[in-house]
Amino acid sequence: MANLESAMRGEELAAMRLRVLFRRYGYARFDMSKFEEYELYSRNKSFLASDSIITFTGAGGRLMALRPDVTLSIVKAAPGGGPPRRLYYSENVYRPRHAGREVSERMQVGLECIGEIGAYEMGEVLMLASRSLGEIGGRNCLCLSHMGFLTGLLRGAGIEGQPGEQLLSRVGDRSESEIRRLCGEYGLDGGFTEKFASLAGLYGPIAERIYDLRALSVNGETEAAIGEIEQVCRIARRLGAPGDINIDFSIVNDMNYYSGIIFQGFVEGIPAAVLSGGRYDKLLRRFGKFSGAIGFAVYADMLEGSRGGEDRPDADVLVLYGEGDDPLEIAAAVRDIADGGESVCAMSEEGDLKYGRLVRLSERRGAGI
């Protein structure tokens, strides 16, 4: 049956469903240009997933860049405060699929909520992230970490700056042996070494793992982070977030930009995160805006082939006509079938066309249709 969905590729279908989902919760579309001044990205390079950026010289000799990221453009245009502004986008970005590889055009769909952000807004965004994974289909999971917990634990251990970043990076690798080696190098006491090692291995549904997380708490900062995780997940569930949300501190983002909950979404069969997001108040501050912000992006290009019409036939019906057949008779046959709601293609030979059923014009004529 030919309909709107059957004409879409997997990523287009997912993007459309996500846009419908976001609009249902009051998110307005944000449109933007394909390029920005390069300076916007060069000043915030570590916020970007990759530092490979395609640049060109614009009018007036300004260095421009094909947009490698959407959030920076939205933050630049966002107001400094006030009630939360809910925006969604569906745009192509230009960055490598894998670190160190060639830049490619990638489709990204996401949302941002910027302004006075409270627990409700965080819960809503988490619910939308969870439901976005549901729209993609298949077995999926949403995993949650908290930058406040990570920075609180580092502060408790008396580690800051580059050593702290290195240690978090090893937690992100789940590399217990490297964590122990680094903690030894930094002269950390055994208790903190065990906490960092345990954190790297901590994974599972929040209801099951929250007690393990509490055992790793060391100060008010880590306590507050645990409280926020529990509260936000409760709100997300009340709003209808399907499935479990897992605690997963291998999700580590840049401490200079992210400040609260951060999360990633995974779909079985797609070998990397398809969704990534979190609270990034510190990025806003770099733009001189002192309010809150949270959002996420779905990397729709990774869904290519996972859903949609790629394996469906090119047409439901092939109308096969002969050399001497009357074009008006072919047209009448095609119209009858198309009006009946099926997709149809008329050809004088089958060629490579994939079709559901075959109608020979000569047989149709013989049957008196």
CB of 204 to another protein, least distance (A): 7
Contact string (CB under 8 A) for another protein, positions 94-133, x = contact? ----xxx---------------------------------
CB of 174 to another protein, least distance (A): 4
Q: With beta carbons less than 8 A apart as the criterion, state whether 232 and 125 touch.
A: no
Binding status of residue 300 toward another protein by CB under 8 A: no
Nearest Cα to Cα of residue 275 among 141, 147, 104, 98:
141
Is 204 one of the binding residues for another protein (CB under 8 A)?
yes
Which of 61, 161, 190, 271 forms a contact with another protein (CB under 8 A)? 271
Q: Select from 24, 45, 139, 365 the one that contacts another protein (CB under 8 A).
A: 139
Q: Report how far apart the first and last C-alpha atoms of the chain are (Å, whole number).
A: 22
Told to check if 273 binds another protein by CB under 8 A, we report: yes
Q: Taking CB under 8 A as the rule, does residue 205 contact another protein?
A: no
CA 185 vs CA 150, 181, 194: distances in Å: 19, 6, 15
Question: Considering the rule CB under 8 A, would residue 178 count as an interface residue with another protein?
Answer: yes
Q: Which of 132, 145, 246, 276 binds another protein (CB under 8 A)?
A: 246
Task: Assess contact for 9 and 306: CB atoms under 8 A.
Answer: no
Say whether residue 173 binds another protein (CB under 8 A): yes
DSSP 219: S
* Rounded least distance, CB 286 to another protein, Å: 26
Instruction: Please say which residue, 204 or 309, places its beta carbon nearer to another protein.
Output: 204
Put residue 368 in one of left, alpha, beta given phi > 0 → left and psi -120 to 50 → alpha.
left
> What tokens does 287 get?
């733009």
Q: Which residues contact 270 (CB under 8 A, 6 or more apart)?
A: 302, 303, 306
Calpha distance 68→49 (Å, rounded): 9
* Token couple for 29: 């579309």
279 with 262: CB under 8 angstroms? yes
Instruction: Write down the least CB distance from residue 283 to another protein, Å.
Output: 23
For the CB of residue 363, give the shortest distance to another protein in the complex, in Å.
Answer: 46
Residue 161 engages another protein in binding (rule: CB under 8 A): no
| Contacts to another protein by CB under 8 A | 98-100, 139, 141, 143, 173-178, 203-204, 246, 248, 250, 266-273
